[in-house]
A and B are shown apart, each in its own frame.
Chain A
Amino acid sequence: DVKVTQSSRYLVKRTGEKVFLECVQDMDHENMFWYRQDPGLGLRLIYFSYDVKMKEKGDIPEGYSVSREKKERFSLILESASTNQTSMYLCASSRNQGYGETQYFGPGTRLLVL
């Protein structure tokens, strides 16, 4: 089974802090994704990566950056956390860039920014 893990289930940070969310997958997937999930809005794509050191902006990249130094690890960075970044963050991975590959999700990190 594919396993996608995220470093924290719950996180509380203060406005202005730098926040790192880590995601690791164990299935040698090429693609990795970061989403945020908000009630009534579904999941929205923040950033994604097709390969090591490659990144592409999703639909809502403002205020975020990412890092992919190793194939299995994809980090989401909030350079200066703000209260409107309070949300559930989901990481996902999938095989190659094939059309329609199933994405596998991690358990999520619920971030509260005070």
Chain B
Amino acid sequence: AQSVSQHNHHVILSEAASLELGCNYSYGGTVNLFWYVQYPGQHLQLLLKYFSGDPLVKGIKGFEAEFIKSKFSFNLRKPSVQWSDTAEYFCAVISGNTGKLIFGQGTTLQVKP
């Protein structure tokens, strides 16, 4: 069965530090990949997604992610985090052609002002 693994469960950074959150998936075929974010008290929303083409995708609020097929990875990055980036981040992959999203366990990011 397809699975998604997020390596970091809880990350604490100071403002202006660089961020990289790891995500690996197990499926070997064509994949569509997503990062979702859940800010405190808010609903889950799409940060960015990869369907095809340029493996470096840019999302909202200065986030980007790179799809590396050979490593089955889709890591999320931001050069300089802000306090407002404090949230929970979920990596997800579409399973086959069913439209079913498989989520990772989530990473809680805490940014200290």
Contacts and interface: CB of A to CB of B under 8 A. Distances in A.
B90 A100 contact: no
Nearest to B1: A59
B43 A98 contact: no
A99 B97 contact: yes
A11 B58 CA distance: 38
Contact of A102 (B4, B34, B43): B34
B35 to A, nearest CB: 12
A99 B94 contact: yes
Contacts of B103: 35, 42-44
Contacts of A92: 44
A12 B4 CA distance: 32
A99 B94 CA distance: 8
B45 A105 contact: yes
Given A90-B44, A100-B32, A108-B43, A45 B101 contact: yes
Contacts of B83: none
A102 B49 contact: yes
A27 to B, nearest CB: 14
Interface of A: 4, 31, 33, 35, 40-45, 48, 50, 58, 90, 92, 94, 97-108
16 contacts: A31-B99, A33-B101, A40-B9, A42-B105, A43-B92, A45-B101, A48-B99, A58-B100, A97-B97, A99-B30, A100-B99, A103-B101, A104-B46, A105-B45, A107-B43, A108-B43
Q: What are the nearest 8 A-B pairs in CB distance?
A: A100-B32, A42-B103, A105-B44, A43-B103, A107-B43, A42-B105, A42-B106, A100-B94
